[in-house]
Structure 1
Amino acid sequence: MKPNRYMISFSLLLWATLLVSVDSDLASDREAMVALRAAVRGRLLLWNLSSSPCSWTGVNCSSNRVVELRLPGMGLSGQLPTGIGNLTQLQTLSLRFNALSGSIPPDFSKLTSLRNLYLQGNLFSGEIPAVLFSLQNLIRLNLASNNFSGPIPSSVNNLTRLGTLYLENNGLSGPIPDINLPSLVQFNVSFNQLNGSIPRLLSGKPQSAFLGNSLCGRPLVACNGTESSDSKLSGGAIAGIVIGCLLGVLLILIILICLCRRKSGKKMEETRERDVAPAKQAEIDIPGDKATGESDNRSSGLSGVVKKDAKSSGTKNLVFFGKASRVFDLEDLLRASAEVLGKGTFGTAYKATLDMGVVVAVKRLKDVTVPEKEFKEKMDVVGAMDHQNLVPLRAYYFSADEKLLVYDYMPMGSLSSLLHGNRGAGRTPLNWDTRSSIALGAARGIAYLHSKGPGVSHGNVKSSNILLTTTYEARVSDFGLAQLAGPTSTPNRVDGYRAPEVTDARKVSQKADVYSFGILLLELLTGKAPTHALLNEEGIDLPRWVQSIVREEWTAEVFDLELLRYQNVEEDMVQLLQLAINCTAQYPDKRPSMAEVTNQIEELCRSNAEKDTH
């Protein structure tokens, strides 16, 4: 029996030793992070020091050790303290878009498990420390948009697993070392003070990776005004180019001959059309023989089919609403020069500039099969909608073949184009005040529609249907058109806005509108379009992706990087994020009404305005 007692005692002692060791390791992690919090003076590092570090915001643990620390855009300032190297099991460190300065502590060398290091968008200075290039497990290293100077260390070749190296927008100087990293896919050293020739193994990277330096060689201009030998064309390539050119000329001649024959066959018809639509003037194209009703951007004009219908009926013309100015008629509209604004769910929209200088938006509806009486009744309802956050319907035209809607023209385009149209260097960031104001205006417009009765809904809420004035005020468009669409049993869900319970695109409830508006809020907050099918490697949709991050308490990770630069708005952003999550609940009865949504956004904007005045 004694040996058994000894074995039990030994086992208990072993377990106790292991538990003490584990607790000691976690205590070391806690100490490192407490020192970090004390050094960087972050606004949102409100960690409960009496609880486990694994429950703190931005911290993720595995086997009772800290393996991820994500604190992006937290307003951190100051210098990183010595001691952060005690997080020896850390695999991901994200401190991007803060105001951290100074140098990187030398005890980073102890972070041997580190795979992902994101320090972009800070104020770090001095030479890039060689200690970083001793971390041989690094896969992603992002030091962009700091104040690093000096050369790029040749010891970068120690990082044999490195797949991402971003060093752009610093003050690095000297030549680029001969980097030979087989796994390197993403690389950028643009806008530094580098000089010399681009190493051969990097010559396959895009030009954008090297701009803003004094570099030469592929993919930029050749060095010393000569062309590198590997860029010279072989005799076979030159022969291929010559043959290709000859074939191209032959093809053009054939096309010209065909066009001339076609032109001669339609000479009389074109002569008549030329009086109405000059060849150099792009006009709205609605040829009467097209069943699809889509524009092919030719310059034949709107007049053909509509004028024939008008003559046959004797009374066909534009039908105006309310006090809308009648400074033009159908004939004026047909002569208007136009450009395509876009093709949406219900048809193609044009910017039409009339001879007298008036500019309107014209939507040419497609797949509308309702009789004229029903069409008129629905348009009367839409035309009667009067709210400052709606795009007013000014007039319509109905014929058997064509249905046209005339709206006020919104010069700033749609929210979709503003958010996603240009993410390049020349983009003006869309700030928090503008985004929250757009959210409020859109909410008010939709809430007004819902106030007209329980059966009244928009039916197609999305960012491309939120248009903007020159002062970025939101105007909701395309309301009331869903009921005109042709019958469908399975509505298109590709756009990512459709509520899960909707089975008929013509029958969208008010709570389904709320779901779509929630997606719109997520789009404003994240900067991601819901049509983006692969937001990450798992390929989940926008609301599920947001909820998964919020569940892990990495809330700051979901926000658009353009928003993280603004001070004292994190709490408001989190509140709007929670509202968006409530709006996108799976079950309709769990979603708030648009009136409640509007009230919450109004309160949020009010509190934000009060902050600005203090």
Structure 2
Amino acid sequence: MALLALAVLILLAGSGDPSSPVRAARSEPTQDRASLLAFMGGLRHEPRVQWDANASACEWAGVRCDSGRTAVLELRLPGVGLLGSVVADTLGRISGLRALSLRSNRLSGPIPAELADLAQLKRLFLQDNLFSGVIPPGLVGLTLLHRLDLSSNNLTGPVPFALNNLTRLKGLFLENNHLSGSLPSISIASLKYFNVSNNELNGSVPRSLEGFPASSFVGNLDLCGAPLPPCEPFFPSPSAAPAAIEVPTKRSSKRLSTAAIVGIIVASIVVFLVLLLLVVCLFFRLRRKGAFRTKEKSAKGSESGTRATAAATGGRSIETGMTSSSKDEMSGSASALVEAERNKLVFVGSGAAEYSFDLEDLLRASAEVLGKGTMGTSYKAVLEEGTIVVVKRLKDVTAAKPEFDALMHTLGLTERPNLVAPRAYYYSTDEKLLVLDFLPAGSLSSLLHGSRGAGRSPLGWESRMRVALAAGRGLAHLHTTAQLVHGNIKASNVLLRAGDLDSAAFSDFALHPLFHPAPRIRPAGYQAPEVLETRRPTFKSDVYSFGVLLLELLTGKAPNQASLNEEGIDLPRWVQSVVREEWTAEVFDAELMRYADIEEEMVQLLQIAMACVSAVPDSRPDIAEVVRMMEQITDRTEGNDGPKSSQVDPATGAGDVGN
């Protein structure tokens, strides 16, 4: 009995001492514990978080385990002063995690892609931090998510359409970031709370999201459509459209009844018969007066007969049979024709051979807002016969019609695989429209910043070089052959042709002469220092902007990314500061680090880019020299630059995956 009592006392004592061997024998989530320690050890933090290494992980502040204490189910550390980037291979290893809250800290860098491994996650709260980069595509694989809050960070890039995969989502919060592009159609039946306010989104609000209040979308200056103010059509009011085009009549005819249609047909036939009768009567009347005797008298060949015939016909011309009064009537019709000629759609370059529509067809086309900018609004127009074009509706144009015509015909002659030249234009007092080819593969901006994270192939080194070289060749043609300044260089204006990155093309070029003074048509980060003052782009400022584009390809960072601009710093200055500290490797995009033996080529392209962004314009190389140096890089590395593919899908980057 004494021995039994002693054993009971030992057990009771052990249960009260966390460090005792008996207590340690209880269940412990060993792997989750190690992951939590590694996560916390990689961050700086204020002393508000004190985890006792000798205690069970299930007893740590912010940690909740399952009933058997075998797995960590929740990690909640809101507002505890966490600072820095999340170390890789830490949070993603806590496989049973159901809820993760790191809100209201100072965490920076990209949102960890390894969160996509947390298949059991239902609630993710990362708001009020300093996370940058794009929304990780891997998050759309967390199909159990009920609530996703990424608001109040520095996120850039598009809102992924693949969010539709989160079929159980009840709340999606993306407000107060720097997300750009058009808003995808998100149709999730369970979604009750949605907010994308205060971003840089453009285009129209999809119908699937019209049921949310306007407060969910405010702060996006280029976003329109219900519940926001309606998007502007090609022509904002009926008076702005040409008078000769009766578009509303044609549309309303589809709603006419059968009786009305029959009535219209009968009335048309009656009017036609009446007109025909009048013409016949007029014919016989003229014949009785001898209108046709002129032919018989002219056959005699006498000059006097000719004069007599002219007198007998009341001054009619023999060649035309038209009286002077008829000429007066025709002069009014001619003026109307001239006015109609002025207001027609004018095709330039090869547009006349490739397209067969007119302005009326364009007005009847179904239109979708692609985006808004300082120069105007772009629409995707689908014509009735299936042709798809881009219509750019310019605003605040100050150029007169002769200047506008001359520039459009000049731009129409710049047709090359690496340039998207205008195909047609329309000019009137109220409206100025450009018609361009529609390239469905998208832009370099969407491909570069929208293809990161788990589940999608990033844009590889070879593909980046091909796009850069293609864009450089297009710009070189503008500068050397066409003698035109682009004036609007940015990644969203580098458009891609499906399956052929070597035919990447610059768009929206050389339009600045239409405006006075030239608008600030490039977003902050692409502008050369001198253009900020003069607002007049030059060949050298184009080279500067192209250099920023090369830095964007090398770093994977958008030039206007908020994390760079918190202290007024732009991408070139950020790169210079990192290189100055001899941290050159930190400059390059982490997505490029999986490619072997390309460090030398990346450094060479970095040197070219830094020469282009020199603060002194005269120190910058000409674009032809830039292209030559880039070609030397590709010539030296042909066949030995890491993973390759002959065909790359611009929508996903597929084909650029490693071996």
Partner of 1:549: 578
Q: Which moved more, 1:535-544 or 1:395-404?
A: 535-544
Amino acid at match of 1:369: T
Cα deviation, residue 379, structure 1: 1.0
Aligned mates of 1:548, 1:340 — CA distance in 2: 40
Aligned mates of 2:388, 2:630 — CA distance in 1: 33
1:288 paired with 2:237, answer: yes
Cα deviation, residue 595, structure 1: 0.2
Change (3 A) 1:505 1:460: farther
DSSP 3-state at the match of 1:596: helix
CA contact (8 A) 1:283 1:338 kept: no
Q: After superposition, what is the alpha-carbon deviation per residue over 1:437-484, rounded to whole angstroms, capped at 9, x for unaligned? A: 11001100000011136x621111111111111123311111110111
Aligned mates of 1:347, 1:429 — CA distance in 2: 32
Partner of 2:485: 457
Change (3 A) 1:427 1:314: same
CA contact (8 A) 1:413 1:467 kept: yes
DSSP 3-state at the match of 2:361: helix
Partner of 1:314: 340
Partner of 2:631: 602
Cα deviation, residue 390, structure 1: 0.3
- Trace 1:125-524 onto structure 2 (pairs within 5 A): 133=37, 139-140=43-44, 174-176=71-73, 182-184=80-82, 191-192=92-93, 194-195=95-96, 212-214=118-120, 284-288=233-237, 313-315=339-341, 316-324=343-351, 325=353, 326-421=355-450, 423=452, 425-452=454-481, 456-471=484-499, 472=501, 473-487=503-517, 491=520, 494-502=523-531, 507-524=536-553
Q: After superposition, what is the alpha-carbon deviation per residue over 1:564-584, rounded to whole angstroms, capped at 9, x for unaligned? A: 121221111111111111100
DSSP 3-state at the match of 1:416: helix
Q: After superposition, what is the alpha-carbon deviation per residue over 1:259-316, rounded to whole angstroms, capped at 9, x for unaligned? A: xxxxxxxxxxxxxxxxxxxxxxx9944213799x9xxxxx989999xxxx99892212
DSSP 3-state at the match of 2:632: helix
Change (3 A) 1:285 1:561: same
Amino acid at match of 1:287: P
Aligned mates of 1:578, 1:568 — CA distance in 2: 18
Cα deviation, residue 129, structure 1: 9.5
Cα deviation, residue 321, structure 1: 1.8
**Greater CA radius of gyration, 1 or 2?**
2
CA contact (8 A) 2:374 2:520 kept: no
Structure 1 residues not aligned, in runs of 5+: 1-125, 142-151, 166-172, 223-240, 242-281, 294-298
* Count of aligned pairs: 399
Amino acid at match of 2:386: G
Cα deviation, residue 551, structure 1: 1.4
Cα deviation, residue 542, structure 1: 0.6
CA contact (8 A) 1:284 1:337 kept: no
Change (3 A) 1:346 1:137: same
Change (3 A) 1:403 1:609: same
Query: What TM-score do the two structures reach when normalised by structure 1?
Result: 0.56
CA contact (8 A) 1:534 1:540 kept: no
CA contact (8 A) 1:420 1:527 kept: yes
Partner of 1:583: 612
Q: Which moved more, 1:503-512 or 1:479-488?
A: 503-512
Partner of 1:107: none
Aligned mates of 1:533, 1:357 — CA distance in 2: 41
Partner of 2:588: 559
Amino acid at match of 2:441: M
DSSP 3-state at the match of 1:524: helix
Amino acid at match of 1:212: L
DSSP 3-state at the match of 2:640: helix
DSSP 3-state at the match of 2:397: coil
Query: What TM-score do the two structures reach when normalised by structure 2?
Result: 0.52
DSSP 3-state at the match of 2:597: coil
Amino acid at match of 2:95: L
Q: After superposition, what is the alpha-carbon deviation per residue over 1:15-73, rounded to whole angstroms, capped at 9, x for unaligned? A: xxxxxxxxxxxxxxxxxxxxxxxxxxxxxxxxxxxxxxxxxxxxxxxxxxxxxxxxxxx
Cα deviation, residue 505, structure 1: 6.6
CA contact (8 A) 2:349 2:415 kept: no
DSSP 3-state at the match of 1:475: strand
Aligned mates of 1:517, 1:410 — CA distance in 2: 21
Aligned mates of 2:427, 2:613 — CA distance in 1: 37
Q: Which moved more, 1:581-590 or 1:201-210?
A: 201-210
- Structure possessing the higher relative contact order (Cα contacts under 8 Å, 6 or more residues apart): 2
Cα deviation, residue 371, structure 1: 1.1
Cα deviation, residue 431, structure 1: 0.9
Structure 2 residues not aligned, in runs of 5+: 1-29, 46-52, 64-69, 106-110, 126-144, 148-191, 193-230, 242-246, 253-334, 644-659
